[in-house]
Structure 1
Amino acid sequence: MNLRQTFLAAALALAFGVASAATLRVANQGDANSMDPHSLNESLQLSFTGNIYEPLVGRDRKLALTPALATSWKQTSPTVWRFELRKGVTFHGGEKLTADDVVFSFKRAAGDGSDMKGYTSSIKEVRKTDDFTVEIETTAPFPILPDVISLVYIMNKAWCEANKAEKPVDRRKGIENAASFRANGTGPFRLKERQPTTRTVLVRNLNHWAKAEGNVDEVIFTPIGNDATRVAALLSGEIDLMEPVPLQDVERLKANANLKVMQGPELRTIFLGMDQKRDELLFSNIKGKNPFKDVRVRRAFYRAIDIETIKTRVMRGAATPTALMVAPGIKGFVADLNKRPAFDVEAAKKLMAEAGYPNGFEVGMNCPNDRYVNDGEICQAVAANLARIGVKINLQAESKATYFPKILSRNTSFYMLGWTPGTYDSHNAMSNLMATPTDKGQGLFNLGSYSNPKIDELTAKVQAETDEAKRNAMIAEAFKLHADDFAHIPLHQQALAWAMKKNVELTQLPDNFMPFKWITVK
């Protein structure tokens, strides 16, 4: 360590008021696919870039709203919210944060190539009233707007223009720009080095507006896709922290005196979706029609999946089977509706025969193998289950780096997806997963293009309703319609499992985000 580094470490230790500044070495089964904060609405991506960029309204350790780049906000009319910006905030490049950056960032997040349109679809206009005040006008009353925009990160307008990154990286088209590999945020960490799929290094932003809560001054993030290799790296001391822990290794790591494992429920729901729009499936031996347009086929698929065996054997008990698209803990969850139709192969065969497919059919299935817990294994189990009713699944399991661009382009017939409502509210799942897709961002992740006009109507009403009882009743009605249509096949909520050295202290959030600012290495 040279003199400058020694001085920096000492200064950091004094600033933190805790243990000496430290390097944190983190491993995950996959990489953050881009440094562009508007390019992919995926938890790992948003968790990682959320250390570099910040929203107007953030979250605390209990997921409650907290001031971030806005110090305060209020509703000035049923459709207008006013946000007062924090003064004295600088981007990592030295530029001052102003209302122009906020207006630009919301326009960018709502524009071509953005994967964040689901968070901006109800916004009519974002306007500057002075250098440190912005107003957001919505198309209809939207009482939970501050919750909705907590994942819309603010970029520097001048930097994006200078680097020809005015539009987001379009993951569907494979288009990259400077924001893919470089970053200029206001967050507690700066991007120092980016080697996609290999290594990404962050360093502490010493000019951050908030007092540091942890002592990490450098983060070395390494994607390690192989479970055994990732565990070996932790056991050998090569890394300090990893997630997810392979389910088969949880007890072994718990028994290690030098390590600890943190487990908890996750708010993510894993589910299957089906193309219900095309007149002929892209990947099937059935020509001239689409079997998934028949509710009997969708119902047969649902009833043929042995969810309890997936829970016990594939997930080793670390999953909670569900009949809903949201988890307990999400506002609007309806416990009375969380009852799956019974697993029944014979009933499923009968439904297939009634629909005109007594011998089943072939269909392609897209699945990631490095995004969710045991995702590839779950899809293999689903394929084996469906074989019992004559359905031959042509499974394509692949890295999320190629999987997401494919399914987000709707280049799929049958797919797996996981979803955590970024607002922790059921309206988010309704708007993104259940409502009819539009060019404004509604239904952006309804990748099978399921459509029910009544659910669309309820989604709009839930957005504007302030009476909690009425709102919850409408959410329940929408969930019931969705379930009766067998529009998707919910599987389960997976459990979180992180493993780390004993000297690492952190906060494990149920949305699986990992803010490095809250981590201390003793």
Structure 2
Amino acid sequence: MSNPGPRRRSAAACLVATTLLATAACSGADTTALGGDPADAAKLKLTATTPAAKGRQDKVNWLLEDEPDSLDLDTQGSSAGRVVLTNVCERLYQLQPDMSIKPLLAAKARTPDDRTLVLTVRDGVTFHDGSKLTADDVLWSLKRHADPDMEQADEFGNVRSMRKTGAREITIRFKAPDALFTKALAGDAGIVWNKEQVTAAGKEFGTPGQGDACSGPYELSGWKSGDSLTIKAYDGYWGKKPLTRQVTFRWASDSALVNALRTGAADGTYAESPNTASALRTAKGIDRHYGPSTASLVLIPTARGGLKDPQIRRALSLAVDREGIARSGYGGLVQPWATPVGSGAWGYEKPRFAAAQRKLASSAPASPTADDLAEAKKLVKSAGAPADPVVIGTDSSQGRTVVANAVRAALQRIGLKGQIKTVPTAQFEEFYSDPQARADIDVLVGDWYISKADPMGFYDNGLSDSSNNWVGFKDATYDKLVHRALGTLDDARRAALAVDVQRRFVDAAVWIPLAQVPSALVLDDRMTGPPASQSYLYYPWAAELGLKKG
């Protein structure tokens, strides 16, 4: 599934409770105030990992932007809970720092035909209460995830049956070939719960005072609601022992988060905003790392007004100043981008996807040239300029305000009028979830990420019947290619189809891409080891966190 800005769930996506691009305690468009450099967007280097740690660490203090609502990711799939539990709860597959996947609690996986997946459950694994992980636990967990009331239910829509077919074997059969299912098993749909522990806890599972019901390098050792949450290394872990013995999580946002890192009260955080890292650029004793992410900053048009015409949408894409947005809105720490999904989605066939991204840059220039604007004006003339202003939906956060102003300026450059509609940040999520909330806007300043490292986890948003296809794009060939790609198990063949689908989506400007948004890791400069990529949401990052010196 993919994930829009304030993360909610949908057939193609889940949206985060706080906006992925919410800014730190900064205001105005002054790059210097953000700690930015006008050239940063061009020279920003993304690395999936940080240098390996050499020394062990007893205790680490880590910051989240929110306290988890629950530690049951089946019922509350928040990013805060996920950052904690990725160290505690293992999955059947594991997302790697380079955004590829490999079997984990499934020791082996085979596909006797393109509609069957056979998993061999790893032997010798224990839950944190000491009980052995069994195939029965795996099957029960999969069925719990698939329950219609659970967060991951839509990942199982193509599953025909799930059965235990051996002492340590689970067989899953599909209605049609499903290329993304194993990627879902590297996410929350692949968590294996301790059946007895979850059942005994009932509705209290995932709340303070309850056990974690997982296997993994760490176990939950305490949760003081409103104060802190602690995990400690599990001595009976079947795999490599963690470098850091204990991690205590606390939560803060905006200036409080920045100050805690600046003063050394906290050792690190995965910042939901690049501007958090930017605000710490001049702070001593802090390292900042940026990694590949699937996240993007986008404009999502509706069919209400002038942007229902694809020529007007293409004209806007040619005229908007992406480099200016990156510099003024995000301190140079997002990158102008020509597709609506970040490079972290390239979990396979990276060279092919990178080449396809470069080819599309002419339709989404970093900074529009005179030729770009001339072409945009031709498109407007051909379509017929809309008489009414294009209404731009946003909130008052700095990044979105900069984007909204840049969109209005782009419209003016090509002879069109723009009008900004600002709503309170608390109300902004309604634009995504409620058609009535966006009934008076023509385009939303949005952000999006996908949980699977595969571009095809995004492009179902352009299907004719997708709830996220707000502009009413309909193309039978596009729909056919998307479904074919989703059923193509061979990576090279699926990548070829994905590139074709991507080109059609961008050519039609179903959404208008602006920038990719890297993951941002902020860390005490004595420490190193965890991944910098978006894998931190699904990979046990704390186990590799340690000291630079042995």
| Band of TM-score, shorter chain | 0.7 to 0.9
Inter-CA distance 341–251: structure 2 relative to 1 (3 Å threshold): closer
Partner of 2:193: 155
* Equivalent position amino acid for 1:55 in 2: R
**Are 2:175 and 1:139 aligned?**
yes
Counterpart of 2:286 in structure 1 is 259
Q: Which residue pairs with 2:389 in the alignment?
A: 360
Structure 2 matches for 1:184-333, cutoff 5 A? 184-194=213-223, 199-217=228-246, 219-226=247-254, 228-244=255-271, 246-253=276-283, 256=284, 258-276=285-303, 293-296=308-311, 298-299=313-314, 301-303=316-318, 305-328=320-343, 330=346, 331=348, 333=353
Q: Is the 8 A contact 1:104 1:157 kept in 2?
A: yes
Shift of the alpha carbon at 1:162? 3.5
TM-score, with length taken from structure 1 = 0.76
- In the TM superposition, residue 293 of structure 1 has moved relative to its aligned partner by 4.0
The size of the alignment, in residue pairs, is 462
Of residues 403, 415, 426 in structure 1, which corresponds to 2:455?
Answer: 426
Q: Where does 1:339-488 land on structure 2 (aligned, <5 Å)?
A: 339-341=362-364, 343=368, 347=376, 351=380, 357-360=386-389, 362=391, 364-365=393-394, 376-387=397-408, 388=412, 389-396=416-423, 398=425, 407-408=432-433, 412-413=437-438, 415-431=444-460, 433-436=461-464, 452-466=475-489, 470-488=493-511
CA distance in 1, matches of 2:470, 2:54: 47
Matches within 5 A, 1:176-191: 178-179=205-206, 182=210, 183-191=212-220
2:23 maps to none
Specify whether residues 512 and 132 from structure 1 end up closer, same or farther in structure 2 by C-alpha distance, changes over 3 A only: closer
Counterpart code for 2:506: A
Distance 1:408 1:71 in 2: 39
Written as runs of structure 1 = structure 2, the 5 A alignment for 1:60-75 is 60-75=96-111
SS at match of 1:461: helix
Higher mean alpha-carbon deviation, 203-212 vs 484-493, is at: 203-212
Counterpart code for 1:499: V
- Identity value in percent: 19
Per the alignment, residue 544 of structure 2 pairs with: 518
Query: Do 1:275 and 1:412's aligned partners in 2 also have CA atoms closer than 8 Å?
Result: no
Cα deviation digits, residues 315-352 of structure 1 (max 9, x gap): 22222211212334614622322433455789579849
Residues of 1 paired with 2:167 and 2:435: CA distance?
Answer: 41
Give yes or no for contact 1:264–1:496 (8 Å, CA) kept in 2.
yes
Q: For 2:546, give the aligned amino acid.
A: T
Equivalence for 2:48: none
Which letter maps to 1:510? S
**Do the aligned partners of 2:222 and 2:231 also contact (CA within 8 Å) in 1?**
yes
Displacement after TM superposition at 1:494 (Å):
2.1
Q: Is the 8 A contact 2:404 2:445 kept in 1?
A: no
Letter in structure 2 aligned against 1:249: A
Matched to 2:108, the amino acid is S
Residues 389-448 of structure 1: per-residue CA shift (max 9 Å, x gap) = 43333223536xx866873566752545544444322222223x33355xxxxx586677
Letter of the structure 1 residue corresponding to residue 505 of structure 2: H
Equivalent position amino acid for 1:479 in 2: Q
**Alpha-carbon contact 1:40-1:116 (below 8 Å) kept:** no
- The answer to whether the 8 Å contact 2:117/2:172 transfers is yes
- Deviation, 1:501, is 1.9
**Local SS of the residue matching 1:179:** coil
- Note if contact 1:322-1:340 (Cα within 8 Å) is conserved in structure 2: no
CA change 1:27–1:339 in 2 (3 A) is farther
Residue type matched to 1:203 in 2?
K
- Judged with a 3 Å threshold, the aligned counterparts in structure 2 of structure 1 residues 386 and 501 are, in CA distance, closer, same or farther, namely closer
Aligned positions of 1:33-72 closer than 5 A:
33-39=69-75, 45-72=81-108
- For the residues of structure 1 that align with 2:181 and 2:138, how far apart are their CA atoms? 15
* 1:233 partner SS: helix
Distance apart, 1:163 and its partner CA: 3.6
Alpha-carbon separation, structure 2, partners of 1:504 and 1:87? 34
Aligned with 2:159 (options 109, 123, 129): 123
| Letter of the structure 2 residue corresponding to residue 234 of structure 1 | L
C-alpha change, 1:243 and 1:211, in structure 2 (3 Å) is closer
How far the C-alpha of 1:62 sits from its partner, in A, is 3.9
Structure 2, unaligned stretches of length 5 or more? 1-52
Measure how far apart 1:85 and its partner are: 0.8
SS of aligned partner of 2:363: coil
Is the CA contact (8 Å cut-off) linking 1:296 and 1:352 kept in structure 2? no
CA contact (8 A) 1:247 1:316 kept: no
Paired position in structure 2 for 1:83: 119
C-alpha distance in structure 1 between counterparts of 2:250 and 2:290, whole Å? 21
Unmatched 5+ residue regions in structure 1?
1-16, 166-176, 277-288, 370-375, 438-442
Of 512, 530, 538, 1:507 maps to 530
Change (3 A) 1:467 1:236: closer
Question: Which digits, 9 at most, give the CA deviation of each residue in 1:53-89, with x for residues without a partner?
Answer: 2111113444443342111111122211111112343
Distance 1:398 1:352 in 2: 36
Q: Which has the higher relative contact order, 1 or 2, with Cα contacts under 8 A spaced 6 or more apart?
A: 2
Q: Secondary structure at 2:117's aligned position in 1?
A: strand
* Structure 1 residues 21 and 119: alpha-carbon distance in aligned structure 2, compared to 1, 3 A threshold: same
Name the amino acid aligned to 2:432. Answer: I
